[in-house]
């Protein structure tokens, strides 16, 4: 297994995974329509690894153009990141999310079956657990009760993949349920570059640190947690990227369907994250407590023992590492990837 099609490979997690693929001797082929990423990322990947990945600016919804890639390139496996991912926007624009996220995956599956590509790694999310029945969350924890259309597309795609895998046993499918990715590449050349006001905590903190935003809004301090703020499992994006390499290696055994949580197994509150960022970078982060966001849960962190044991993978980097790397990225790239 050598040549890996990476959909959404210019995005935040996708680009870091492409770097790890190149470092591990794979040949990634990026397909990305750049609707939420910049082409400059391809240059940065080349600077970091010394190798330039193949890149197609194509939407997975454009079946004709997308099929050309399958005709032209020999593809051994697919890692599927492409999709819209802003929770709040998905509530306001559900049709946009269902159309894009579901139909792009259906087109991808159709091509994989037609061209006999039998290895599929799916970028899923802990959001599929809804309000979790137990914490830490293991893979047998019931899914469902998802509170927004974005999360529902992740759960629906998981169900579609399981249905298809049942009738195509030659297809190996690995569902990777991410917890909360943070951090940036240690070189400071790649990181999270959200459009508009960030939805995620870390880019919000770094934009306050650099003066782009006045203060951090902390959504709610009346949760059932030690300091009242929401608790999440924050995993460094480089550790997360390496989890995909481990999943590809596992699929060489032709295991059929596999499901893994990728997190650290530790819960960190919003205020703990703010204090860790201040400690790591010696910068004060002003914040204001505001009302809860609808759909946010008290706490969510992973039991990753299955991935530790079966994939021989575990998170090695700390929240402090992620705080340092995120600030290094933001400082070196105050406008993200800019308008290049």
- Is residue 159 scored above 50 in pLDDT? yes
What domains are defined for the chain?
Answer: 3-182+234-263 (3.40.50.720)
Which DSSP category does 127 fall into?
G
C-beta of residue 182 within 8 angstroms of C-beta of residue 128: no
User: What Å distances lie between residue 64 and 76, 116, 120, CA to CA?
Assistant: 20, 18, 21
**H-type alpha helices, 146-283:** 149-167, 201-209, 237-251, 270-281
Q: Mention every residue, 6+ apart, whose C-beta is less than 8 A from residue 109.
A: 120, 160, 161, 164
- pLDDT, average across residues 186-193: 97
Cα within 13 Å of Cα(27), Cβ side = 8
- Is residue 7 scored above 50 in pLDDT? yes
- pLDDT tens, position by position, 16-35: 999 999 999 999 999 999 99
C-beta of residue 37 within 8 angstroms of C-beta of residue 6: no
- pLDDT tens, position by position, 199-236: 899 999 999 999 999 999 999 999 999 999 999 999 99
CA dihedral 154, 242, 17, 158 (to 10 degrees): -20
Token couple for 128 = 């599929």
Query: Above pLDDT 70, what percent of the chain?
Result: 99
Q: Which residues are catalytic?
A: 150
CB count, 10 Å around CB of 26?
20
Is residue 56 left, alpha or beta, with left meaning phi > 0 and alpha meaning psi from -120 to 50? beta
């Amino acid at each position: 297994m050598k040549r890996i099609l990476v959909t959404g490979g210019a995005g935040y997690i996708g680009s870091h995974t492409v770097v790890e693929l190149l470092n591990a001797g794979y040949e990634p082929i990026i397909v990305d329509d750049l609707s939420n990423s910049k082409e400059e990322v391809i240059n940065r990947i080349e600077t970091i690894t010394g190798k330039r990945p193949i890149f197609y600016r194509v939407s997975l919804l454009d079946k004709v153009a997308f099929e050309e890639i399958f005709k032209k390139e020999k593809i051994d496996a697919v890692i599927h990141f492409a999709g819209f991912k802003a929770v709040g926007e998905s509530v306001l624009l559900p049709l946009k999310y269902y159309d894009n996220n579901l139909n792009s995956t259906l087109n991808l599956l159709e091509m994989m079956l037609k061209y006999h590509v039998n290895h599929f790694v799916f970028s899923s999310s802990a959001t599929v657990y809804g309000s979790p029945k137990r914490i830490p969350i293991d893979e047998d924890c019931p899914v469902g009760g998802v509170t927004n259309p974005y999360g529902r597309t992740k759960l629906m795609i998981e169900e579609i993949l399981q249905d298809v895998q049942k009738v195509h046993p030659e297809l190996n499918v690995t569902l990777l349920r991410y917890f909360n990715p943070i951090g940036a590449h240690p070189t400071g050349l790649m990181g999270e570059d959200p459009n508009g006001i960030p939805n995620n905590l870390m880019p919000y903190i770094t934009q306050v640190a650099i003066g782009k935003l006045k203060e951090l809004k902390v959504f709610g301090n009346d949760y059932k947690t030690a300091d009242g703020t929401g608790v999440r499992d924050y995993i460094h994006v480089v550790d997360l990227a390496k989890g995909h390499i481990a999943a590809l290696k596992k699929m060489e055994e032709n295991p059929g369907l596999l499901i893994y949580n990728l997190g650290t197994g530790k819960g960190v509150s919003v205020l703990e994250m703010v204090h860790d960022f201040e400690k790591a970078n010696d910068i004060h982060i002003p914040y204001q407590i505001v009302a809860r966001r609808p759909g946010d849960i008290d706490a969510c962190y992973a039991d990753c023992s299955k991935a530790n044991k079966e994939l021989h993978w575990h998170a090695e980097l700390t929240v402090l590492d992620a705080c340092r790397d995120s600030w290094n990225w933001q400082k070196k790239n105050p406008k993200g990837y800019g308008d290049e």
